[in-house]
Protein backbone atom coordinates (compact mmCIF):
# COMPACT_ATOMS: atom_id res chain seq x y z
CA UNK A 1 0.00 0.00 0.00
CA UNK A 2 2.71 2.52 0.90
CA UNK A 3 4.41 2.30 -2.51
CA UNK A 4 1.10 2.72 -4.29
CA UNK A 5 0.18 5.71 -2.18
CA UNK A 6 3.47 7.42 -2.89
CA UNK A 7 2.92 6.91 -6.62
CA UNK A 8 -0.62 8.25 -6.68
CA UNK A 9 -0.99 11.53 -8.53
CA UNK A 10 -4.30 12.89 -7.26
CA UNK A 11 -5.36 13.75 -3.74
CA UNK A 12 -7.78 11.35 -2.08
CA UNK A 13 -10.11 13.73 -0.31
CA UNK A 14 -13.63 13.68 1.01
CA UNK A 15 -15.97 16.35 -0.29
CA UNK A 16 -17.26 18.43 2.61
CA UNK A 17 -19.55 21.01 1.06
CA UNK A 18 -22.69 22.62 2.43
CA UNK A 19 -25.71 21.81 0.32
CA UNK A 20 -28.79 23.95 0.82
CA UNK A 21 -31.44 21.27 0.98
CA UNK A 22 -34.26 21.47 3.51
CA UNK A 23 -34.01 18.96 6.31
CA UNK A 24 -30.98 17.38 7.95
CA UNK A 25 -29.27 14.27 6.62
CA UNK A 26 -30.47 12.25 9.57
CA UNK A 27 -34.06 13.27 9.03
CA UNK A 28 -34.10 13.19 5.24
CA UNK A 29 -36.61 10.76 3.74
CA UNK A 30 -37.39 10.54 0.05
CA UNK A 31 -41.15 10.35 -0.37
CA UNK A 32 -42.75 8.33 -3.14
CA UNK A 33 -43.17 10.45 -6.25
CA UNK A 34 -41.01 13.27 -4.87
CA UNK A 35 -38.31 14.62 -7.16
CA UNK A 36 -34.70 14.16 -6.16
CA UNK A 37 -33.16 17.21 -4.42
CA UNK A 38 -30.71 19.21 -6.51
CA UNK A 39 -27.65 20.94 -5.02
CA UNK A 40 -27.52 24.73 -5.07
CA UNK A 41 -23.80 24.85 -5.85
CA UNK A 42 -21.42 22.79 -7.94
CA UNK A 43 -20.17 19.58 -6.34
CA UNK A 44 -16.63 18.61 -7.29
CA UNK A 45 -13.93 16.22 -6.12
CA UNK A 46 -11.32 16.87 -4.80
CA UNK A 47 -11.66 20.15 -2.95
CA UNK A 48 -9.58 23.24 -3.81
CA UNK A 49 -6.75 24.05 -4.08
CA UNK A 50 -6.48 20.82 -6.09
CA UNK A 51 -8.07 21.07 -9.55
CA UNK A 52 -11.43 19.29 -9.84
CA UNK A 53 -11.39 15.85 -11.41
CA UNK A 54 -15.00 14.74 -10.90
CA UNK A 55 -18.10 16.92 -11.16
CA UNK A 56 -21.59 15.90 -10.06
CA UNK A 57 -24.08 16.40 -12.91
CA UNK A 58 -27.55 15.12 -12.04
CA UNK A 59 -29.67 12.32 -10.64
CA UNK A 60 -33.07 10.70 -11.07
CA UNK A 61 -35.14 7.91 -9.57
CA UNK A 62 -38.62 8.28 -11.06
CA UNK A 63 -40.40 8.53 -14.38
CA UNK A 64 -41.64 12.02 -13.51
CA UNK A 65 -38.10 13.34 -13.28
CA UNK A 66 -37.40 12.31 -16.88
CA UNK A 67 -40.73 12.79 -18.61
CA UNK A 68 -41.96 16.36 -18.94
CA UNK A 69 -45.60 15.41 -18.60
CA UNK A 70 -47.77 12.36 -18.44
CA UNK A 71 -48.85 11.13 -21.85
CA UNK A 72 -52.60 10.76 -22.33
CA UNK A 73 -53.85 7.45 -23.68
CA UNK A 74 -55.51 7.47 -27.07
CA UNK A 75 -59.04 6.19 -27.67
CA UNK A 76 -57.57 3.06 -29.30
CA UNK A 77 -55.30 2.38 -26.32
CA UNK A 78 -58.25 2.63 -23.94
CA UNK A 79 -60.40 0.29 -26.05
CA UNK A 80 -57.54 -2.17 -26.59
CA UNK A 81 -56.88 -2.28 -22.87
CA UNK A 82 -53.33 -0.93 -22.97
CA UNK A 83 -51.71 -0.66 -19.59
CA UNK A 84 -52.27 2.50 -17.63
CA UNK A 85 -49.04 4.34 -16.92
CA UNK A 86 -49.73 3.89 -13.20
CA UNK A 87 -49.60 0.10 -13.67
CA UNK A 88 -46.06 0.29 -15.01
CA UNK A 89 -43.05 0.88 -12.75
CA UNK A 90 -42.91 4.57 -11.86
CA UNK A 91 -39.73 4.53 -9.80
CA UNK A 92 -36.50 2.62 -9.55
CA UNK A 93 -36.84 -0.04 -6.87
CA UNK A 94 -33.78 -2.32 -6.87
CA UNK A 95 -31.49 -1.08 -9.66
CA UNK A 96 -28.27 -2.98 -10.33
CA UNK A 97 -26.61 -3.03 -13.75
CA UNK A 98 -26.48 0.10 -15.90
CA UNK A 99 -25.36 0.90 -19.45
CA UNK A 100 -25.76 3.68 -22.03
CA UNK A 101 -26.18 3.30 -25.79
CA UNK A 102 -24.95 5.55 -28.63
CA UNK A 103 -28.17 7.58 -28.47
CA UNK A 104 -27.65 8.42 -24.82
CA UNK A 105 -30.44 6.16 -23.58
CA UNK A 106 -29.78 4.83 -20.08
CA UNK A 107 -30.59 1.15 -19.49
CA UNK A 108 -31.09 0.01 -15.89
CA UNK A 109 -31.59 -3.61 -14.82
CA UNK A 110 -34.12 -3.49 -11.98
CA UNK A 111 -35.25 -6.94 -10.92
CA UNK A 112 -38.27 -5.55 -9.04
CA UNK A 113 -39.64 -4.38 -12.40
CA UNK A 114 -39.02 -7.78 -13.98
CA UNK A 115 -36.99 -6.32 -16.80
CA UNK A 116 -35.11 -3.26 -18.04
CA UNK A 117 -36.03 0.39 -17.56
CA UNK A 118 -34.91 2.72 -20.35
CA UNK A 119 -34.53 6.41 -19.55
CA UNK A 120 -34.29 8.61 -22.63
CA UNK A 121 -33.59 11.99 -21.08
CA UNK A 122 -33.19 13.72 -24.42
CA UNK A 123 -36.66 12.68 -25.56
CA UNK A 124 -38.11 12.94 -22.04
CA UNK A 125 -39.33 9.37 -22.31
CA UNK A 126 -39.19 6.27 -20.12
CA UNK A 127 -39.87 2.74 -21.36
CA UNK A 128 -39.94 -0.69 -19.74
CA UNK A 129 -38.82 -3.84 -21.50
CA UNK A 130 -40.48 -6.77 -19.78
CA UNK A 131 -43.19 -9.36 -20.42
CA UNK A 132 -44.98 -6.96 -22.81
CA UNK A 133 -41.95 -7.28 -25.11
CA UNK A 134 -41.70 -11.03 -24.73
CA UNK A 135 -38.87 -10.59 -22.24
CA UNK A 136 -39.50 -13.15 -19.50
CA UNK A 137 -37.06 -12.54 -16.67
CA UNK A 138 -36.89 -13.45 -12.99
CA UNK A 139 -33.76 -11.73 -11.73
CA UNK A 140 -32.25 -9.31 -14.30
CA UNK A 141 -28.98 -7.97 -12.91
CA UNK A 142 -26.49 -7.16 -15.65
CA UNK A 143 -26.88 -5.10 -18.81
CA UNK A 144 -24.53 -3.99 -21.57
CA UNK A 145 -24.80 -2.56 -25.08
CA UNK A 146 -23.10 -4.05 -28.13
CA UNK A 147 -22.82 -3.39 -31.83
CA UNK A 148 -25.79 -1.64 -33.48
CA UNK A 149 -26.96 -0.74 -29.97
CA UNK A 150 -28.12 -4.30 -29.34
CA UNK A 151 -28.79 -4.80 -25.65
CA UNK A 152 -27.69 -7.82 -23.58
CA UNK A 153 -29.31 -8.63 -20.23
CA UNK A 154 -28.29 -11.31 -17.72
CA UNK A 155 -30.78 -13.20 -15.56
CA UNK A 156 -29.20 -14.74 -12.48
CA UNK A 157 -32.12 -17.09 -11.78
CA UNK A 158 -32.74 -18.28 -15.34
CA UNK A 159 -28.96 -18.63 -15.86
CA UNK A 160 -29.24 -16.92 -19.24
CA UNK A 161 -28.28 -13.87 -21.24
CA UNK A 162 -30.89 -12.31 -23.55
CA UNK A 163 -30.03 -10.24 -26.62
CA UNK A 164 -32.51 -7.59 -27.81
CA UNK A 165 -32.51 -5.15 -30.70
CA UNK A 166 -32.23 -1.45 -29.98
CA UNK A 167 -36.04 -1.33 -30.20
CA UNK A 168 -36.52 -4.05 -27.59
CA UNK A 169 -37.28 -7.06 -29.79
CA UNK A 170 -35.89 -10.30 -28.37
CA UNK A 171 -33.25 -11.80 -30.69
CA UNK A 172 -31.93 -14.75 -28.71
CA UNK A 173 -31.69 -16.15 -25.22
CA UNK A 174 -28.57 -18.20 -24.60
CA UNK A 175 -26.06 -19.53 -22.09
CA UNK A 176 -28.27 -21.69 -19.88
CA UNK A 177 -26.05 -24.75 -20.33
CA UNK A 178 -22.86 -22.74 -19.67
CA UNK A 179 -23.80 -20.37 -16.83
CA UNK A 180 -24.63 -20.93 -13.17
CA UNK A 181 -25.42 -17.41 -11.92
CA UNK A 182 -24.60 -14.70 -14.47
CA UNK A 183 -24.40 -11.14 -13.17
CA UNK A 184 -22.08 -8.53 -14.73
CA UNK A 185 -21.70 -8.13 -18.50
CA UNK A 186 -19.11 -6.35 -20.65
CA UNK A 187 -18.69 -6.01 -24.40
CA UNK A 188 -15.57 -6.01 -26.57
CA UNK A 189 -17.08 -4.38 -29.67
CA UNK A 190 -13.89 -4.72 -31.71
CA UNK A 191 -13.58 -8.49 -31.31
CA UNK A 192 -17.35 -9.07 -30.94
CA UNK A 193 -17.01 -10.75 -27.58
CA UNK A 194 -19.38 -10.76 -24.63
CA UNK A 195 -17.85 -11.33 -21.18
CA UNK A 196 -20.13 -12.67 -18.45
CA UNK A 197 -19.27 -12.71 -14.74
CA UNK A 198 -20.55 -16.11 -13.60
CA UNK A 199 -20.69 -15.50 -9.86
CA UNK A 200 -21.68 -18.98 -8.72
CA UNK A 201 -19.34 -20.63 -11.21
CA UNK A 202 -16.39 -18.48 -9.98
CA UNK A 203 -15.31 -17.75 -13.55
CA UNK A 204 -15.80 -15.51 -16.57
CA UNK A 205 -17.69 -16.95 -19.54
CA UNK A 206 -16.92 -15.65 -23.04
CA UNK A 207 -19.47 -15.71 -25.88
CA UNK A 208 -19.58 -14.40 -29.43
CA UNK A 209 -21.81 -11.33 -29.51
CA UNK A 210 -22.70 -12.13 -33.14
CA UNK A 211 -23.42 -15.88 -33.17
CA UNK A 212 -24.01 -16.19 -29.38
CA UNK A 213 -21.78 -19.28 -29.40
CA UNK A 214 -19.81 -20.12 -26.27
CA UNK A 215 -16.07 -19.53 -26.70
CA UNK A 216 -14.39 -20.38 -23.39
CA UNK A 217 -14.10 -19.85 -19.66
CA UNK A 218 -11.53 -17.65 -17.96
CA UNK A 219 -10.40 -18.63 -14.46
CA UNK A 220 -11.65 -20.99 -11.78
CA UNK A 221 -12.40 -20.89 -8.06
CA UNK A 222 -9.44 -19.84 -5.92
CA UNK A 223 -8.29 -17.49 -3.19
CA UNK A 224 -6.41 -14.19 -3.22
CA UNK A 225 -3.04 -15.98 -3.26
CA UNK A 226 -3.73 -17.31 -6.76
CA UNK A 227 -3.70 -14.83 -9.66
CA UNK A 228 -6.27 -15.62 -12.31
CA UNK A 229 -8.70 -17.35 -9.96
CA UNK A 230 -11.93 -15.96 -8.51
CA UNK A 231 -14.32 -16.07 -5.59
CA UNK A 232 -17.74 -14.90 -6.76
CA UNK A 233 -16.82 -12.33 -9.43
CA UNK A 234 -19.62 -9.79 -9.79
CA UNK A 235 -18.65 -7.27 -12.45
CA UNK A 236 -16.56 -6.97 -15.62
CA UNK A 237 -15.41 -4.16 -17.89
CA UNK A 238 -13.38 -3.90 -21.11
CA UNK A 239 -11.12 -0.95 -21.93
CA UNK A 240 -10.21 0.51 -25.32
CA UNK A 241 -7.24 -1.83 -25.65
CA UNK A 242 -9.44 -4.89 -25.17
CA UNK A 243 -8.11 -5.58 -21.66
CA UNK A 244 -10.59 -7.21 -19.28
CA UNK A 245 -11.20 -6.00 -15.70
CA UNK A 246 -12.90 -8.26 -13.15
CA UNK A 247 -14.21 -7.43 -9.68
CA UNK A 248 -13.10 -10.52 -7.74
CA UNK A 249 -15.58 -9.82 -4.95
CA UNK A 250 -14.71 -12.13 -2.07
CA UNK A 251 -11.00 -11.96 -2.82
CA UNK A 252 -11.37 -8.16 -2.45
CA UNK A 253 -9.40 -7.28 -5.55
CA UNK A 254 -9.63 -6.27 -9.19
CA UNK A 255 -7.86 -8.49 -11.70
CA UNK A 256 -6.80 -7.41 -15.19
CA UNK A 257 -6.42 -9.73 -18.20
CA UNK A 258 -4.75 -8.90 -21.52
CA UNK A 259 -6.20 -9.30 -25.02
CA UNK A 260 -5.22 -12.97 -24.98
CA UNK A 261 -7.29 -13.34 -21.76
CA UNK A 262 -4.16 -14.09 -19.76
CA UNK A 263 -3.66 -12.70 -16.27
CA UNK A 264 -1.92 -9.32 -16.47
CA UNK A 265 -2.05 -7.66 -13.03
CA UNK A 266 -4.16 -7.15 -9.92
CA UNK A 267 -4.70 -4.62 -7.15
CA UNK A 268 -6.63 -4.32 -3.92
CA UNK A 269 -6.81 -6.12 -0.59
CA UNK A 270 -9.39 -6.48 2.16
CA UNK A 271 -9.46 -3.50 4.52
CA UNK A 272 -10.78 -0.03 5.22
CA UNK A 273 -7.91 2.05 3.89
CA UNK A 274 -7.57 3.92 0.61
CA UNK A 275 -7.09 1.43 -2.21
CA UNK A 276 -8.62 -1.43 -0.22
CA UNK A 277 -12.05 -3.03 -0.60
CA UNK A 278 -14.79 -4.32 1.67
CA UNK A 279 -17.75 -5.08 -0.63
CA UNK A 280 -16.62 -4.23 -4.17
CA UNK A 281 -19.47 -4.39 -6.67
CA UNK A 282 -18.97 -2.63 -10.00
CA UNK A 283 -16.07 -1.69 -12.27
CA UNK A 284 -15.66 0.66 -15.24
CA UNK A 285 -12.74 2.19 -17.17
CA UNK A 286 -12.60 5.68 -18.67
CA UNK A 287 -10.86 6.96 -21.82
CA UNK A 288 -7.58 7.59 -19.97
CA UNK A 289 -7.44 4.10 -18.50
CA UNK A 290 -8.52 5.13 -15.00
CA UNK A 291 -10.31 2.31 -13.20
CA UNK A 292 -13.46 3.03 -11.17
CA UNK A 293 -14.68 0.56 -8.53
CA UNK A 294 -17.86 0.87 -6.46
CA UNK A 295 -17.96 -0.43 -2.89
CA UNK A 296 -21.31 -1.03 -1.18
CA UNK A 297 -19.76 -0.99 2.29
CA UNK A 298 -17.82 2.25 1.83
CA UNK A 299 -20.71 3.87 -0.09
CA UNK A 300 -18.33 5.35 -2.65
CA UNK A 301 -16.42 4.68 -5.81
CA UNK A 302 -12.63 4.69 -5.86
CA UNK A 303 -10.58 5.73 -8.86
CA UNK A 304 -7.25 4.07 -9.68
CA UNK A 305 -4.60 4.76 -12.29
CA UNK A 306 -3.82 2.06 -14.90
CA UNK A 307 -1.26 0.55 -12.51
CA UNK A 308 -3.87 0.16 -9.77
CA UNK A 309 -2.64 3.05 -7.60
CA UNK A 310 -5.42 4.97 -5.81
CA UNK A 311 -6.10 8.48 -7.08
CA UNK A 312 -9.36 9.62 -5.55
CA UNK A 313 -12.56 8.42 -3.95
CA UNK A 314 -15.99 9.95 -4.36
CA UNK A 315 -18.89 9.67 -1.94
CA UNK A 316 -19.83 8.92 1.64
CA UNK A 317 -22.94 7.35 3.14
CA UNK A 318 -26.06 9.46 2.61
CA UNK A 319 -29.00 10.25 0.36
CA UNK A 320 -28.03 13.71 -0.83
CA UNK A 321 -26.35 14.42 -4.20
CA UNK A 322 -22.88 12.90 -4.37
CA UNK A 323 -23.58 10.51 -1.50
CA UNK A 324 -24.55 6.83 -1.71
CA UNK A 325 -26.53 4.12 0.03
CA UNK A 326 -25.57 0.65 -1.16
CA UNK A 327 -23.97 1.73 -4.43
CA UNK A 328 -23.78 -1.14 -6.92
CA UNK A 329 -23.47 -0.61 -10.67
CA UNK A 330 -21.22 1.80 -12.56
CA UNK A 331 -20.81 2.63 -16.25
CA UNK A 332 -18.68 5.18 -18.15
CA UNK A 333 -19.73 6.35 -21.61
CA UNK A 334 -17.65 7.60 -24.55
CA UNK A 335 -17.67 11.15 -23.16
CA UNK A 336 -16.36 10.02 -19.76
CA UNK A 337 -19.71 10.55 -18.05
CA UNK A 338 -20.03 8.28 -15.04
CA UNK A 339 -23.34 6.61 -14.18
CA UNK A 340 -23.98 4.84 -10.87
CA UNK A 341 -26.88 2.88 -9.39
CA UNK A 342 -27.71 2.48 -5.73
CA UNK A 343 -30.32 0.68 -3.69
CA UNK A 344 -31.39 0.70 -0.02
CA UNK A 345 -32.76 4.02 1.28
CA UNK A 346 -32.79 5.96 -1.98
CA UNK A 347 -32.78 3.87 -5.19
CA UNK A 348 -31.55 6.14 -7.97
CA UNK A 349 -29.11 6.83 -10.79
CA UNK A 350 -26.47 9.51 -10.29
CA UNK A 351 -24.42 11.03 -13.11
CA UNK A 352 -20.93 12.51 -12.79
CA UNK A 353 -18.44 13.94 -15.28
CA UNK A 354 -14.71 13.28 -15.41
CA UNK A 355 -12.69 16.50 -15.90
CA UNK A 356 -9.30 15.95 -17.59
CA UNK A 357 -6.42 18.17 -16.51
CA UNK A 358 -3.18 19.11 -18.30
CA UNK A 359 0.16 17.99 -16.93
CA UNK A 360 1.85 20.55 -14.70
CA UNK A 361 5.39 21.74 -15.39
CA UNK A 362 8.34 20.42 -13.45
CA UNK A 363 7.40 16.76 -13.81
CA UNK A 364 4.70 16.89 -11.15
CA UNK A 365 1.02 16.69 -11.90
CA UNK A 366 -1.28 19.24 -10.32
CA UNK A 367 -2.82 17.97 -7.11
CA UNK A 368 -0.12 15.42 -6.29
CA UNK A 369 -0.06 14.42 -2.66
CA UNK A 370 -0.20 11.32 -0.53
CA UNK A 371 -3.75 9.96 -0.07
CA UNK A 372 -5.10 9.98 3.46
CA UNK A 373 -4.92 6.47 4.97
CA UNK A 374 -7.97 7.15 7.18
CA UNK A 375 -10.22 8.41 4.39
CA UNK A 376 -12.88 5.73 4.92
CA UNK A 377 -13.15 6.06 8.68
How far is it, in rounded angstroms, from Cα 167 to Cα 134?
A: 12
How far is it, in rounded angstroms, from Cα 345 to Cα 99?
A: 22
In sequence order, the β-bridge partners of residue 244 are 238, 257
CA 372 to chain CA centroid, nearest Å: 25
Question: Is residue 100 a part of any domain in this protein?
Answer: no
Contact 296, 279 (CB under 8 A): yes
Question: Is residue 365 a part of any domain in this protein?
Answer: no
3-state secondary structure of 25: coil
How far is it, in rounded angstroms, from Cα 224 to Cα 258?
A: 19
Determine the pLDDT at residue 228: 98
Determine the pLDDT at residue 377: 37
Question: Is residue 249 a part of any domain in this protein?
Answer: yes
Longest dimension (CA), the chain: 73
Query: Per-residue pLDDT for the chain (377 aa), expressed as one digit of tens each?
Result: 433 443 455 655 443 333 332 233 333 334 444 556 667 679 999 998 999 999 999 999 988 888 865 555 565 555 555 555 545 667 899 999 999 999 999 999 998 888 899 999 988 999 999 888 888 899 999 999 999 999 999 999 999 999 999 999 999 999 999 999 999 999 999 999 999 999 999 999 999 999 999 999 999 999 999 999 999 999 999 999 999 999 999 999 999 999 999 999 999 999 999 999 999 999 999 999 999 999 999 999 999 999 999 999 999 999 999 999 999 999 999 999 999 999 988 899 999 999 998 764 443 343 333 444 333 33
Question: Is residue 288 a part of any domain in this protein?
Answer: yes
Determine the pLDDT at residue 8: 52
Question: Is residue 160 a part of any domain in this protein?
Answer: no
Q: Which residues form the domain of 325?
A: 44-68+165-354
Question: Is residue 203 a part of any domain in this protein?
Answer: yes
CATH number of the domain at 304, please.
2.120.10.30
Rounded alpha-carbon distances, angstroms, from residue 165 to 134, 138, 162: 12, 20, 10
Question: Is residue 24 a part of any domain in this protein?
Answer: no
Number of domain units in the chain: 1
Contact 188, 199 (CB under 8 A): no
Determine the pLDDT at residue 114: 81
Question: Is residue 112 a part of any domain in this protein?
Answer: no
3-state secondary structure of 361: helix
Amino acid sequence: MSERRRGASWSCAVLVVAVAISGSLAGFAQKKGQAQPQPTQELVWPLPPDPPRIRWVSQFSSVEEVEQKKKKRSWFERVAGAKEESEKPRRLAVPYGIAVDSQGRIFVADWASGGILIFDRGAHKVDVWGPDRGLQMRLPLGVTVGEDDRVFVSDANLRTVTCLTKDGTVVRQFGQDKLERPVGLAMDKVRHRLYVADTKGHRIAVFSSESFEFIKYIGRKGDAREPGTFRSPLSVAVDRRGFLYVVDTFNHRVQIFNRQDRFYSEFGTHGRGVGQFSRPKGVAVNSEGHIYVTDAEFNNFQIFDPQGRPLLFVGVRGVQPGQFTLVTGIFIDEKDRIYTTEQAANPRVQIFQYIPQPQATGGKEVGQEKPRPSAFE
